[in-house]
Structures are given as C-alpha cells and as structure tokens.
Amino acid sequence: NLSYGRQNDENKRAIKNAGGIPSLINLLRKSSDGEVKELVTGVLWNLSSCEDLKKSIIDDGLSVVVNNIIIPHSGWDPTSPGETCWSTIFRNASGVLRNVSSAGEYARKKLRECEGLVDSLLYVVKSAIEKSNIGNKSVENCVCVLRNLSYRCQEVEDPNYDKHPLPAQSRVGAQPKGDNLGCFGASKKKKETQPVQQKEAASTSRSTTQRTEPVKGMELLWQPEVVQSYLSLLQSCSNPETLEAAAGALQNLAACYWQPSIEIRAAVRKEKGLPILVELLRMEVDRVVCAVATALRNLAIDQRNKELIGKYAMRDLVQKLPSGNPQHDQGTSDDTIAAVLATLNEVIKKNAEFSRSLLEAGGVERLMNITRQRQKYTPRVLKFAGQVLFTMWQHQELREVYKKHGWKEQDFVTKTVAARNAGPNSPNNANSTLNRPMASQGGTRYEDRTMQRSTNMNSASRSPGPSIYQRGEDIPMADMSYPEGGTHAPPPGGVRAYPPAPLAKPGEPLYAQVNREKKKNRQYEAGAQPQYDGQLPPGPGDMWGYEEPGKGMVMDGHRSTPAGGDSWV
C-alpha cells in the first residue's frame, strides 16, 4: 500500500533506497508460496511505475522475474510446450516488464537480450489467440512489451540508423518494375541508384541469408510471421489497450529501413491486414485510431500498399479529419490528425489519381478547415495540412479540375508553405519529418494497485461484481471494477472505463472494452458516402465489393479483377 499510485513516488524511492528491490527479488527467487509471489510481484509492479526505479528493477530483477515467473507460467518450452498459466502472478510480472520496457534504449537492449523472454511473450499471445482468450490483462501486458521492444528495432544493427538519409529502396518500397510513380517519380538514372541499393543490400544481408537454425530470441520480434498474431488481435480483440499495442507494434516494425521492415510491410498486405487496419479507423477510441493511422502511414512506404490504401481507404482517412462540426471533431486528437495527414501525403504525393480521390472525398474542405483555424491546432498539424494542400497543387494536370470545384491556387499554396518547400529542408525532401516513418512506444501505465486488506488472497474471495470502493486508493489488487457512471478518467492506477461495462469473471479484473459492432456498423456522415445502387458501400473489414447477379464481384462500382497478384480481399 505504501508503494501504490503516482502520488507515492517518494515512498517508492524510499523503498529502493532502503535496499527494497534486491530484497523483494531475493524473496521472489526463494519463496515457493504463491501468495508471497503474488504480493512481491504486486509491489514490484507498483515500484516499476516510477521512472527513477526502472533501471534498478531491470538490473536487480529482470532475470529472476523472467526465469522464475514469465517463462514457467507462459508454458513456453523449447522441448515440450505446455499450457499457459493465466495467474495473477504472471499478470503482475508482465505488468512489471510492461512498465520497465519503456525506459529507453538501455531497457530495450536488456529485455531483447534476455534469453527466453521474447519467445515466451509471443507464445502467450499465440496461445491466447488459439483459445480465444485475448481480452485479459496478461495478454495486454505482453503485447505492450512486444510493442516497446519493436520500437526502433533496427538499432540492434545500427544505433544511428535513423540519422542517415532515407535509403532509396525504403522510399519506393516494393515498386513494380517499370512502374511510373507520377510527376515526381523516382527518375534517377540506374547508375545513381545502384550504389545506394548495393549498400542497403549489404546492410541487410544478415536478414536474407539462409538459416540453418530456427529463429529464436529477439529476432522473433521482426519475423514476418508475427504479423499474423497482431492482425488476429486487431480483428477480434475488444480491449482498446491491446488494440493500440498491436497496431503500435506493426507501426514500429514498419517504421525502419532494413530488410525485415520491407518484409513486414509486404507481409501485412499478403495477410490481408490492410482492410483490418482501415476498419479500425472507424473506432471511437482515439489512441487506437492514432496507432492505426500511423501504421498505415508506415505501411504506405511499400508501393503496392500505397496503391491499395489510396484506392480503398481514402474515404475512411478523410473522415478522420476535422469537418468543422464540433460533435464530430471533439474526439480526435492532434496526434491522430497529424498521422492521417502524413498518410494522405504519402499516398497522393506521386499519384494524381489519388489526389483527385482526395478532392472528391471532400478532403480539400477539411484541409482548409484546419488551415483556417490556426489557433485551434498545433503547429505540426497546421504544417502537415498545408503540405498536403501544396502536394495536391503539384499535380498540374488537376489544376483545372480544382478550379472547376471552386478552388484557386491561393487555397493550395500559401507564401509560408511555398517558402518552406523552396529550401533544402523542404517537406518535399525525402528526409523531412513528414516523409520519414513514425515510430512510438507506450509509456508507463499506472496499473499498480493496493493489496487486499483481508488475509485471504485466494481467487474465490474476489468479488466478481462492480467494486464497492469509490476511491482509487481503496481499490484492492484483485477487484478492479469501476463504479457506474459516464466515461471518466481512471483513478490513479486504473484503466479508462468505457461504460456500460460487463461483469467480470471471478478472479479477473474488469477492463475497458470496445463495442466492435458499433464500430463496424458506424456509417459515414450524411452526404459523404458513395452510393452503390442505392446501398451503402461494403465495409473494409468484409469485402471491398459485392456480388451482382451474372456479373460476379463488383469493385468500386465497376466489374474488376485484382491486379498483379495483390488484392485488398
């Protein structure tokens, strides 16, 4: 209880200064009593939310937590895999790792190199997916750790990888041979591009060499096979924390320039993951939408992904931009708007057809709505919106079309944006902030809880119903429901609740849930949707088309067949 909550960081430091962390770890190592282990891991979870203590917990306790709790409870064993033990002890221990995994490069290095950790976490996630048990806190914690360990994953090969100019291959992605990329197409002569490609090929050779042993440890983080697990979570999970973490993991894996990221971007497409991500743009939980939009932006580095996103996701992306309607706009953060703008810019910058689609989807009105309210949005959002408009104007063949819609050059090109684009650090430059991939990591979540005051810590004593405690400080570790009421910020150590909340199973705390049916059935705003014989278009989570008697599958209102081996469905 002394270590509970953000307000008790001084107590946490005092426990550490009194030698508490090594003592707790030693007790965890020696004790065979489940109740003691539950209490010790609970205290460590509380302590791990203090930034100053994270390094000490890693140095003193990482190997013990992993070898004594994570690996045995996960069920992972290289020789004989077993069942995952969904215990409170495992939940607490994974919560500790979740918090310390956000403590910078040092923490990522230590956790990645910890033998058996990544293997165990991925085993737990796969096991949960197979048994349809993905809504619990342990899975959430595991995916959050994996997301943080995937952040800047190329640093294992080159700590300064993102300080170098963007490699040509990463900018273009999986470009089909002979493909014309548009007015700013990659038109360098072969002689100029060959050295860059050879250099990149050399730097990524370790990823493409033939293996004689199965992949294990940290390398599992960036194998194309992990994509399937994250997509399964994104498709089926209702816990917004897990959804955000799974989308964030894909975002991070697709954010680097090395060969594994190229393969990850292609794997998401091949596993039909793009429609799953686009469907999640319709959610009402902003931080999930932000992670998804940023993942799409990074995936669009791949040329084929870019074409599919431009063709099938334009309307969903535009819908996330502010419309000027306060009721529509209030739930969208500036970070999410910036992520959507970066995705749109990536999609349209070398494709006039997609720029036209952006116009027809009502994008110019929404972009102008942003640039005209300079006091309302952050400089970053204003800069990105101005740049998207500027990029649209660069398609000279569309200027007459814009004018027919009532827009003029001054709407697209302001003096500020024009001056910015004239300099060497212009947003059109491949190495500008807007054109670089975006990575992120989850910070500390205050999941720490006070211990139950009764002496009986058995699961049978845990209340399955709503909590009788009204203050965050009084919520025991084993009873994490919330009082009824509207959506509200969590108490210290709590998870945001999205009422109405279902009753928890005995022994399992109550966590935030997302109404996926509401998300799936959410329609476009009036007047914003295209009509298909008087019907709404199919949702991207199902099919990008519909059956028409005698005509087969109709896509975008026209009979169509997928191009070149890649398709949306």
> Where are the domains positioned within the chain?
303-436, 532-569
For 111, the token pair is 């956790």
Count of C-beta atoms within a 10 Å radius of residue 213: 5
| Angstrom distance (rounded) from CA 29 to CA 3 | 21
Which of 115, 74, 114, 118 is CA-nearest to residue 93?
A: 74
381 burial via Cβ count (<10 Å: 0-12, 13-18, 19+) = buried
Contacts of 473 (CB under 8 A, 6+ apart): 4, 5, 450, 491, 492
Question: Which DSSP symbol is given to 256?
Answer: S
pLDDT score at 509: 40
pLDDT score at 327: 73
- Is the C-alpha dihedral spanning 115, 149, 223, 123 positive or negative? positive
pLDDT score at 421: 65
For 255, the token pair is 């954010």
Confirm if 242 and 516 have CB atoms less than 8 A apart: no
Which of 533, 482, 486, 522 is CA-nearest to residue 504?
A: 482
| Angstrom distance (rounded) from CA 184 to CA 180 | 9
Strand partners, 547: 553
Residue with tokens 């939980």: 285
Which of 320, 340, 322, 286 is CA-nearest to residue 498?
A: 286
pLDDT score at 461: 37
Give the phi and the psi of residue 77 in degrees, each rounded to 5. Answer: -155, 125
Which H or E run contains 274? helix 273-280
Residue with tokens 């953000």: 6
pTM, two decimal places = 0.75
350 burial via Cβ count (<10 Å: 0-12, 13-18, 19+) = buried
pLDDT score at 432: 54
pLDDT score at 521: 46
| Angstrom distance (rounded) from CA 540 to CA 522 | 12
Count of C-beta atoms within a 10 Å radius of residue 254: 29
Residue with tokens 């009402």: 284
411 burial via Cβ count (<10 Å: 0-12, 13-18, 19+) = middle
Q: What's the residue count for the chain? A: 569
Give every residue of the chain whose pLDDT is below 70, as ranges.
167-211, 415-435, 441-569
Confirm if 567 and 545 have CB atoms less than 8 A apart: no
Which of 88, 95, 56, 55 is CA-nearest to residue 73?
A: 88
Question: Which DSSP symbol is given to 487?
Answer: S
Which of 232, 250, 229 is CA-nearest to residue 147?
A: 250
165 burial via Cβ count (<10 Å: 0-12, 13-18, 19+) = exposed
pLDDT score at 163: 85
Residue with tokens 């005051």: 453
pLDDT score at 212: 72
Helix axes 137-150, 88-100, angle to 10 degrees: 20
pLDDT score at 26: 98
| Angstrom distance (rounded) from CA 435 to CA 347 | 11
Region of 430 on the Ramachandran plot (φ > 0 left; ψ -120 to 50 alpha; else beta)? alpha
Alpha helices in 151-239 (DSSP H): 168-172, 190-203, 205-208, 226-236
pLDDT score at 535: 37
For 137, the token pair is 């806190």
